[in-house]
Structure 1
Amino acid sequence: MIDARADLAGAVNELAAKVLSQEDSLRLLLGEIIITVGEIAKRQGVSRTTFYREPWRLPNYGRKPDQESPKGWYLSTYKAWMDIPAEERRKRWELMPTRERRKLGENKCIYSAS
């Protein structure tokens, strides 16, 4: 720990680095981490356009419940979705009536979030 009396700028920088290193943990505790479509694509190693062909890769097939965030989903929502095996999510999608799929497809705004 840098002594603030000797090096105030160094102490402030050290404190800022500690806060930044714990930022994700703090946000997660507060329920504030939002994961966007672009971040999900990076995590899954696919392009964002993949979600048009494979909507089961996005939480709730791209639909955001209760409009959690205009940009994406809470990280906990994403993790809970990913806990469901991909085969099961795809099977549910394929069994979903066409009418319901179309309703989900009308929600194009989720694909434009970065």
Structure 2
Amino acid sequence: MIMNEEQVTEASFSFCAEEEVRYANCKAVQVECLLRFSARGAGSVAFSSSGKTLLAGFWDGSLRAFSVKKLTVLLYLDFHSESISQILWTKVNDEDRVAVASSDEKLSLWVF
């Protein structure tokens, strides 16, 4: 399902322990899209400064980037060995940078 920009601003995303990501239309109060993954549960999520990409850190230590418009996985990173607890997405010198904290006591820094 492809959404236009107006639909994206009315969206809500839910990451669940049931290995699912749900896109809900807040005005219609209904789930419009459901994505399934092998990872169980997301510990943290963050939007890019443009609002076009959503990062989710999962309990298995993986990090996934999603296209908000197309609801597709853009990137999969398997760096941490334990649950992702925090994600901070910021812009530094016109570059998107992401800091990821994990229960494995590591902090990773990424440039997007």
TM-score, normalised by the number of residues in structure 2: 0.29
Higher RCO (CA < 8 A, seq sep 6+): 1
Of Structure 1 and Structure 2, the greater strand share is in: 2
TM-score, normalised by the number of residues in structure 1: 0.28
Of Structure 1 and Structure 2, the greater helix share is in: 1
